[in-house]
């Protein structure tokens, strides 16, 4: 398995250095996509790039914010061109523990073939987990299934193992957070196996947590994506 670790980041400067420090323990090449950050992310990444021990970290930058999906797409495209056939994605906010990547890799190896593996976040009932994250997961799980996707326990988890170039061939249209749910629906309808594996989750206390979730705006975006996928299913355009 030729694997690259992909970390999309938007204004995560406060967390990014610690996240990368932990991620390096995996011993994988790392691709960080700065999706048009306006904080000190660019400076932090530039400083890290000067250190010899970070030679395996490749930096990609969008001049303006395009969305998490666009950041993943950019990384997946570049990774495929560089000869990688798997991308392990992890969020830049410190929510994921890099050592849990072993569960995703083990699930893929046990299954054989080239599945897409989603990390099911355990501990979502914790003290610092916002209600919007719990409610959003249930909402998303239902609509992914209703749109023809797999029945999953955590369709919103960003800790995933993606097979390349199969993921790029799905034709995902969403460019922001909705990319991660659309890819699940299209994977199911196009015959790409989707599996789950348990992972831990860490939510920082309110005030320390970096989140770009906006309930009203993101509900409308999610609804638009699910509406498009739902009607696509029933118009017979899944193939």
CATH code: domain of residue 7: 3.90.550.10
How many CA atoms, within 13 angstroms, populate the side-chain half-sphere of residue 130?
16
In a domain, 38, yes or no: yes
Average pLDDT over residues 86-102: 94
What's the total number of domains in the chain?
Answer: 1
Asked if the model's pLDDT at residue 197 lies above 90, the reply is yes
Average pLDDT over residues 35-59: 92
In a domain, 239, yes or no: no
CA angle at 99 for the pair 95 and 100, rounded to the nearest 5°: 70
In a domain, 159, yes or no: yes
Asked if the model's pLDDT at residue 128 lies above 60, the reply is no
Predicted local distance difference test score (pLDDT) of residue 138 = 85
The whole-angstrom separation of Cα 153 and Cα 121 is 9
Report yes or no: 116 and 183 within 8 Å, Cβ to Cβ.
yes
In a domain, 211, yes or no: yes
What strand order describes the sheet that includes 194-200?
Answer: 57-62, 30-35, 3-9, 86-89, 160-163, 116-122, 194-200
Range of the domain at 189: 3-234
Predicted local distance difference test score (pLDDT) of residue 221 = 78
Predicted local distance difference test score (pLDDT) of residue 239 = 44
In a domain, 25, yes or no: yes
């Amino acid at each position: 398995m030729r694997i690259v670790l992909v970390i999309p980041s938007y204004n995560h400067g406060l967390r990014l250095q610690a996240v990368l420090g932990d991620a390096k323990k995996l011993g994988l090449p790392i691709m960080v996509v700065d999706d048009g950050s306006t904080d000190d992310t660019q400076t932090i990444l530039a400083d890290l790039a000067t250190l010899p021990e970070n030679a395996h970290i490749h930096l990609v930058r969008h001049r303006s914010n395009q969305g998490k999906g666009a950041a993943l797409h950019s990384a997946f495209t570049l990774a495929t061109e560089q000869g990688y056939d798997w991308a392990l994605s992890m969020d830049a906010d410190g929510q994921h523990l890099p050592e849990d990547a072993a569960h995703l890799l083990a699930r893929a190896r046990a299954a054989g073939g080239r599945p897409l593996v989603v990390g099911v976040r355990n501990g979502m009932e914790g003290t610092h987990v916002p209600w919007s994250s719990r409610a959003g997961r249930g909402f998303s799980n239902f609509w992914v299934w209703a749109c023809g996707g797999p029945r999953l326990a955590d369709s919103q988890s960003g800790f995933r193992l993606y097979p390349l170039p199969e993921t790029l061939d799905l034709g995902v249209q969403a460019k922001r957070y909705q990319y991660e749910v659309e890819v699940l629906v299209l994977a199911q309808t196009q015959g790409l196996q989707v599996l789950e594996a348990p992972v831990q989750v860490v939510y920082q206390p309110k005030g320390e947590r970096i989140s770009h979730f906006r309930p009203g705006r993101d509900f409308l975006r999610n609804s638009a994506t699910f509406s498009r996928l739902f009607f696509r299913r029933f118009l017979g355009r899944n193939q």
